[in-house]
Amino acid sequence: MNFAIEPKLEATLAQIREFMRAAVYPLERDFLSKPFRELLPALNERRAQVKAMGWWAPSIPKEYGGAGFSFLEMAHISEELGRSPLGYFVFNAQAPDVGNMELLIAFGTPEQQDQYLLPLVRGDLRSCYCMTEPDYPGSNPVWMGTTAVKDGDDYVINGRKWFTTAADGAAFAVVMAITNPDAPKPHQRASQIIVPTSTPGYHLARNTPVMGHAGDDWASHGEILFENCRVPQTNRLGREGEGFALAQERLGPGRIYHCMRWIGICERALEMMCARAAARQLAPGQPLAHKQIIQAMLAESRAEINAARLMVLQAAWKLDREGQKRARVEISTIKFFVADVLQRVLDRAIQIHGGLGVTDYTPLAFWYRHERAARIYDGADEVHKTVVARQLLKDYGVKVELVGA
């Protein structure tokens, strides 16, 4: 394994890093204190700059309008973008849009790609992804209550979803719904269906408040009601009953991006820790950095971030070469390991900042309340640990049951 960065990519990363510092970081104070929509004019200026520099939609192939970076290159870019809560949005690489782009590239018909993919890549519209339900455990994605029943050439969808990121303002949703309830295997019962949000029967009930903040627009998590929502069967992605397989294809690479984004957050938090420890005076001539307990926090953070990065790059390397199925254990390992590192580094950063750390004058409090969910979304820690343990115990004749995932 060779994770050396090619000189061309190194130069690109340096340019992206400088752009983030000069153009994106200054917008964070308004992002943390104002409605997202008020920030859109400034964000759209930055998005236009990113397009002009050739970095737009970095993970999407050039033939669809993206920058065409490879998977491993995108892993490195993800770290740079993750240093700000706005980085992914400014580069049109934000979840859930980028995951839906990848779904449409892999499974969309030419008509679906023209109608939904190309405008999404251009940034002309936004999307959301409806999978999690309030009445069913997210850790068992084959068990859900939302149904799509055939009626003539249409599906009629009924059900309830929540934690639908960016539902507020999305033009269409990709919906996971049961289409084949009598299929012998649970993994073959659901399909994924494109639903324009203007369709009668599609209702954004509310934005779910997270840690005291409801959010709006891209920074929201909506609750969606489907009440006899009728769409053509031609809106289905892939074959009927393949919804679970499509979800796994979508989530695997996404976990790599999440982990590298978290590492970017950790790097930014460590920079802030060091700056605060050096500048904060406990008494004249006695900076906080002189305290050994503070030095230990910095050293532990540095070691954990380095270890996490190497683990993620190794998982990305294996996924690139052997595919998602062969890299499943590595992906599960980094998902819970890096999420834990993120929590520890952010906690130390807030502690070193003292009272300032819990305010919205820095992005630390935003990350702390929003990224606590890192140990829950895209598979809870407990599920991923079971995946790893099951593989370890195979050689010892022990069969570990894994529900859902």
pLDDT in tens, 97-127: 999 999 999 999 999 999 999 999 999 999 9
- The pLDDT of residue 402 is 66
pLDDT digits (tens, 9 = 90+) for 345-403: 999 999 999 999 999 999 999 999 999 999 998 889 999 999 999 999 998 999 887 65
- The pLDDT of residue 2 is 77
- Picking from 188, 173, 178, the residue whose alpha carbon sits closest to that of residue 148 is 178
pLDDT digits (tens, 9 = 90+) for 269-319: 999 999 999 999 999 999 999 999 999 999 999 999 999 999 999 998 888
- The pLDDT of residue 37 is 87
- Going from the C-alpha of 344 to that of each of 263, 267, 294, the distances in angstroms are 12, 12, 14
Q: Which domains does the chain have, with CATH numbers?
A: 7-108 (1.10.540.10), 127-237 (2.40.110.10), 245-394 (1.20.140.10)
- The pLDDT of residue 96 is 92
High-pLDDT (> 90) share of the chain, %: 80
Structure tokens at 135: 């009445």
Q: State the chain's mean pLDDT as an integer.
A: 93
pLDDT digits (tens, 9 = 90+) for 190-238: 999 999 999 999 999 999 888 877 777 777 899 999 999 999 999 999 9
pLDDT digits (tens, 9 = 90+) for 71-85: 888 989 999 999 999
Length of the chain: 405
- Is residue 192 within 8 Å of residue 176, measured between CB atoms? yes
Tell me, rounded to whole angstroms, the distance of Cα 393 from its chain centroid: 30
pLDDT digits (tens, 9 = 90+) for 36-87: 889 999 999 999 999 999 999 999 999 999 999 988 889 899 999 999 999 9
Task: Give the integer Cα–Cα distance in Å for 165 and 217.
Answer: 9
- The pLDDT of residue 219 is 75
- Picking from 93, 91, 174, the residue whose alpha carbon sits closest to that of residue 128 is 174
- The pLDDT of residue 152 is 97
- The pLDDT of residue 215 is 72
- The pLDDT of residue 405 is 45
pTM of the model: 0.91
- For the chain, the 3-state helix, strand and coil shares in percent, each to the nearest 5, are 55, 15, 30
- The pLDDT of residue 283 is 92
DSSP-assigned states of every residue in 243-305: HHHHHHHHHHHHHHHHHHHHHHHHHHHHHHHHHHHHH-EEETTEEGGGSHHHHHHHHHHHHHH
Task: Give the integer Cα–Cα distance in Å for 170 and 183.
Answer: 32
Amino acid at 38: E
Omega before residue 184 within 30° of 0, cis: no
322 band by pLDDT with thresholds 50, 70 and 90: confident
- Picking from 162, 166, 167, the residue whose alpha carbon sits closest to that of residue 135 is 162
Radius of gyration of the chain measured on its C-alpha atoms: 22
pLDDT digits (tens, 9 = 90+) for 230-279: 999 999 999 999 999 998 887 777 788 899 999 999 999 999 999 999 99
End-to-end CA distance of the chain: 29
- The pLDDT of residue 250 is 77
Residue of higher predicted confidence among 220 and 333: 333
